[in-house]
């Protein structure tokens, strides 16, 4: 007979490779299934539908991102103050609300069903912090985070491919498709949540190297931010830019690929993301071999700058006709997702460890996330009302140049600040 206590005990005494495999795979699948509750609606185009003169898909994306942004502000307190024993209850509750919102989207008449996308974004915005909290503060956090963060690249494309398959091959309507996709992934999600809940807590050696990770009070959060405010503001500004570029690429990937000449080829949404995922996994995962936390923090900054260079350079080469559209989407995607993945736990984990700060990564992640998604909403509204004639492809190209320049400049300033802080 299988016992959960035995599972936890065996995993606690297993080799690091075994632990990485189990924790990495199940956290990866868990958050991939979360994407099935969040991203499949973007596989639709909702052609000829408008609300108040705005394309209906932009309305849906903006509504969900607005809910997501609100969720991040809520998560600053909820996630940072979450005791471990309550994680599973919150996670299941958030998934349940997200699923019911997709059902509401399917059965509510147009255009009133757009409101359900706002509801959908609120619970899902806190799911990432809850799942990452199972992995943070360990000597192998980089490897686990790298595996988990591949979801940003693979899962979004995979659920959109699934959604396209339902639309084209199974004749499911654009309004019912998101709920059907969520139902397909729900059983796997429940299994993965059970496994994560029974992972062993960080060991004494984990806590010695990375510092213990505890829930934080509002006053502790405030003092932590003020201690490093200039550097944290630079990091938040960088993440704001990366989130805007990433959201446009992710939410309007169908339109961008159509303009590049791949209309109707649903598989390209997943295939083109696979090499990006592999390169990102190798680059971020290798950071676990860097034992010195401050050196790792420096390398995090260096990799983020490299990402900005790739994003800018790949876009320039594509516009000059030196590389194909597929090579450009892969190179620009790697340049974008490399720093984006670092910001989703790895960089902040090393920052906390470098300065021997207690608490947890959730607070810093959700401060950055809340500002990032608020900026994403603003840019989507500007795109519709201020640059409505610009194609999504040209809009994405301009964002690549702008985002790369800001990423490079801000990360240089951030490193200078933390270096000086360390020396003093």
Confidence category of residue 47, pLDDT binned at 50, 70, 90: confident
- More confident of the two residues 394 and 48: 394
User: Which stretch of 234-248, 292-306, 369-383 has the lowest confidence by average pLDDT?
Assistant: 369-383
Specify which residues 55 forms β-bridges with: 50
Rg of the chain over CA atoms, in angstroms? 21
Structural domains of the chain in order of their starting residue, each with its CATH number: 7-423 (1.20.1250.20)
Ramachandran category for residue 173: left, alpha or beta (phi over 0 → left; psi -120 to 50 → alpha):
beta
The pLDDT, as a whole number, for residue 214 is 67
The pLDDT, as a whole number, for residue 1 is 42
Confidence category of residue 137, pLDDT binned at 50, 70, 90: confident
Whether 149 has a pLDDT exceeding 80, the answer reads: no
Whether 307 has a pLDDT exceeding 50, the answer reads: yes
Give the Å distances, CA to CA, from 203 to 43, 85, 271, 301, 354. 42, 17, 38, 28, 19
* Length of the chain measured in residues: 424
Give the Å distances, CA to CA, from 358 to 94, 131, 151, 207, 352. 27, 19, 28, 10, 7
119/370 Cα distance (integer angstroms): 16
272/217 Cα distance (integer angstroms): 43
Please answer whether residues 166 and 180 qualify as being in contact, where contact means their C-beta atoms are separated by less than 8 angstroms: yes
Whether 209 has a pLDDT exceeding 80, the answer reads: no
368/81 Cα distance (integer angstroms): 17
Tokens 């060991």 map to which residue?
203
Task: Name the DSSP letter for residue 54.
Answer: E
Q: Could you give the percent of the chain with pLDDT greater than 70?
A: 95
* Angle in degrees, 0-180, between the axes of helices 361-385 and 229-251, rounded to the nearest 10: 50
* 380-392: pLDDT as tens digits: 777 766 665 778 8
Q: What is the mean pLDDT of residues 285-292?
A: 82
Confidence category of residue 422, pLDDT binned at 50, 70, 90: confident
Helix ranges restricted to H, 54-213? 56-78, 87-107, 114-124, 127-133, 141-149, 154-168, 177-197, 204-210
Confidence category of residue 317, pLDDT binned at 50, 70, 90: very high
82/358 Cα distance (integer angstroms): 15
Structural element, H or E, at residue 112: none
Confidence category of residue 345, pLDDT binned at 50, 70, 90: low
Q: Is the dihedral of CA 288, 294, 300, 302 positive or negative?
A: negative
Q: What is the mean pLDDT of residues 140-147?
A: 76
The pLDDT, as a whole number, for residue 212 is 61
| Structure tokens, 325 | 């559209």
Q: In whole numbers, what is the pLDDT of the chain averaged over residues? A: 85
User: Which stretch of 22-31, 276-285, 383-392 has the lowest confidence by average pLDDT?
Assistant: 383-392
Confidence category of residue 413, pLDDT binned at 50, 70, 90: very high
Longest dimension (CA), the chain: 64
| Alpha carbon of residue 93 to chain centroid | 20
424/203 Cα distance (integer angstroms): 31
| Alpha carbon of residue 305 to chain centroid | 19
| C-beta atoms surrounding 155 within 10 Å | 24
Task: Please enumerate in sequence order all residues whose Cβ is within 8 A of that of 85, keeping only pairs 6 or more positions apart, or say none.
Answer: none
Ramachandran category for residue 186: left, alpha or beta (phi over 0 → left; psi -120 to 50 → alpha):
alpha
* 72-84: pLDDT as tens digits: 888 777 777 778 7
């Amino acid at each position: 007979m299988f016992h959960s206590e035995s599972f936890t005990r065996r995993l606690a005494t297993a080799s690091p490779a075994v632990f990485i495999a189990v924790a990495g795979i199940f956290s990866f699948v868990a958050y991939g299934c979360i994407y099935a509750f969040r991203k499949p609606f973007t596989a639709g185009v909702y052609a000829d539908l408008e609300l108040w003169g705005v394309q209906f898909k932009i309305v849906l994306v903006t509504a969900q991102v607005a809910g997501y942004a609100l969720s991040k502000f809520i998560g600053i307190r909820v996630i940072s103050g979450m005791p471990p024993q309550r994680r599973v209850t919150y996670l299941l509750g958030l998934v349940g609300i997200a699923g019911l919102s997709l059902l509401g989207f399917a059965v509510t008449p147009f255009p009133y069903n757009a409101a359900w996308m706002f509801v959908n974004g609120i619970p899902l915005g806190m799911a990432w912090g809850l799942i990452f909290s199972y992995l943070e503060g360990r000597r192998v956090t980089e490897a686990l985070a790298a595996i988990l963060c591949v979801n940003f690249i693979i899962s979004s494309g995979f659920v959109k491919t699934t959604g396209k398959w339902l639309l084209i091959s199974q004749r499911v309507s654009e309004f019912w498709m998101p709920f059907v996709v969520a139902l397909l992934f729900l059983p796997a999600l429940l299994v993965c949540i059970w496994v994560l809940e029974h992972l062993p807590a960080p060991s004494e050696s984990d806590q010695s190297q990375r510092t213990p990770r505890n829930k934080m009070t509002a006053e502790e959060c405030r003092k932590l931010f003020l201690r490093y405010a200039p550097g944290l503001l630079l990091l938040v500004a960088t993440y704001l830019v990366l989130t805007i570029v990433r959201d446009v690429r992710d939410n309007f990937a169908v339109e961008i690929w159509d303009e590049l000449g791949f209309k109707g080829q649903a598989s390209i949404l997943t295939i083109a993301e696979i090499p990006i995922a592999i390169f990102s996994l190798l680059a971020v995962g290798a950071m676990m071999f860097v034992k010195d936390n401050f050196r790792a923090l420096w390398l995090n900054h260096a990799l983020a700058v490299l990402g900005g260079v790739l994003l800018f350079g790949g876009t320039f080469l594509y516009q000059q006709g030196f590389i194909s559209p597929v090579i450009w989407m892969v190179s620009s995607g790697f340049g974008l997702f490399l720093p984006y993945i670092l910001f989703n736990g790895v960089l902040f984990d090393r920052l906390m460890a470098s300065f021997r700060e207690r608490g947890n990564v959730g607070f810093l992640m959700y401060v950055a996330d809340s500002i990032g998604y608020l900026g994403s909403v603003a840019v989507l509204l500007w795109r519709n009302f201020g640059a409505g004639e610009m194609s999504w492809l040209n809009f994405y190209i301009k964002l690549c140049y702008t985002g790369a320049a800001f990423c490079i400049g801000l990360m240089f300033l951030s490193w200078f600040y933390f270096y000086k802080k360390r020396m003093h």
